[in-house]
Amino acid sequence: MSFFGRQVVIAALTANALRPLRSFRSGVISFLLGFVSTELAPQLLVATSLDAAAHLPPRRRHVPGLVLACFSMLGMGWLVRQSRRSRVLLEDALVQGLGAESTEQLDAPTPAERATRWRRFLNPFGLRDARVSVQRDVAYSEGGRRARLDIYRPAQGEGLEHAPVLVQVHGGGWTVGQKEHQALPLMHYLAAQGWVCVAVNYRLAPRHPFPAQIIDVKRAIAWVKEHIAEYGGDPDYVVITGGSAGGHLAALAALTPGDPAYQPGFEDSDTSVQACVPVYGVYDFAGATGLRSATQMRDLFLAPRVLRKRWRDAPEEFEAASPILRVTPEAPDFFVLHGTHDTLVDVNQARLFVAELRRTSRASVVYAELPGTQHAFDFFHSIRSGYMVSTVGRYLTWHWNRHREGLDVEVS
């Protein structure tokens, strides 16, 4: 491809990252083009700068291409700046959600966590960690190959006992996805610090319409409660996280412990969790928020592909599947994260969900809204995902310490 052709492509990616399209169908395209280029802005900035520099000499100069390169470099510089601001915004979210007195009890970020880990940018997709061992495809029920989970533990895990447990639920629109492919930076970070992390598969729609997905997630939680001590985990302290559809399933599971409709055949099993960290999740299946984006998702995707039912024929099922309509005073602690540039799930769903949690729940609610951030920003190593992982890790470690001390999480 010519220099000009390369710069046209880079400029288009930069423009999409800065001003993504937000309609239901074009938003999918914006996401597919945008989430990688947004998080890899430092690498693209360096590559574009080198490419432009090579075409500055008169015999190679291409003025239109250089103009596009200047636009892209300015735009990517702005994206890098937004990513670096995430650290401050995440810290502010903890203070606002927990209060200054509580946040003083969190471990201070280490110099390594404060610093941008530039070495990781040479291989942002290198997600293996020698400090962590993984036991794959452990069966949590008799549901076939989808009823499997992976267990992440410290590599030197002999003698591990009563470790805090994280359950990770993958996304993929309830129709695709694998446990091996998401939240790896977070699970490796926590497992290296002594956690036991459990990544869960579940049956997929449309072959298995909802609520098969939430039933499987709850079966996995019940299995964790019964068996995780064999792997060094503490069954009395389980938190749950997930992104996108996984964020929806994590939030719904956290808000419906013991719901017999979602626990057929294991109604008496304990499926409660101590905290929930949904990331760019879906909180409104029913269109109850009145958001146009939510009703479009309901009618154009959730009804035909996920529930396989029309809204007007079974509104109660859409409502039951909406975390925003399942909030009670007994809800566990929540740490909700969402990006303002998310073109798959409107950030207003997260804002309204958090507002309902704060209005109804007696537990703490932390909300971090990250400017300029697309869907799936935490799939691999980046400036923003690094800050997000260390902040969530510090929050969960603090939460675990409060649990061990027998203290409720209080909001100042």
Just list the catalytic residues.
244, 342, 375
Residue 211: asked if its preceding bond is cis (omega within 30°), the reply is yes
Write down the H helix ranges in 274-376: 292-297, 315-320, 347-360
Strand pairing report for 196-200 and 148-154 = antiparallel
- Cα-based angle 194, 40, 248 (whole degrees, multiple of 5): 55
d(CA 316, CA 344): 24
Burial class of residue 388 in the structure, from the number of CB atoms within 10 Å of its CB (0-12 exposed, 13-18 middle, 19+ buried): buried
Choose among 276, 371, 375, 398: nearest CA to 18. 371
- Of all helices (H) and strands (E), which one includes residue 367? strand 365-370
- For residue 298, the 8-state DSSP code is I
- Per-residue tokens: 393: 């890790």
Length of the chain: 412
Q: What DSSP letter does each residue of 370-410 carry, written as one string?
A: ETT--TTTTSS--HHHHHHHHHHHHHHHHHHHHHHTT----
Q: Do 377 and 39 contact (CB within 8 A), yes or no?
A: yes
User: For 56-94, b where at least 16 C-beta lie within 10 A, e where not — what string?
Assistant: eeeeeebeebbebbebbbebbeebbebbebbbebbbebb
d(CA 192, CA 201): 22
Distances 175 to 83, 201, 205, 272, 308 between C-alpha atoms, Å: 30, 12, 5, 25, 12
Name every residue whose Cβ is closer than 8 Å to that of residue 278 and which is 6 or more positions away in sequence.
241, 242, 243, 247, 248, 250, 251, 334, 336, 337
376: left (phi over 0), alpha (psi -120 to 50) or beta: left
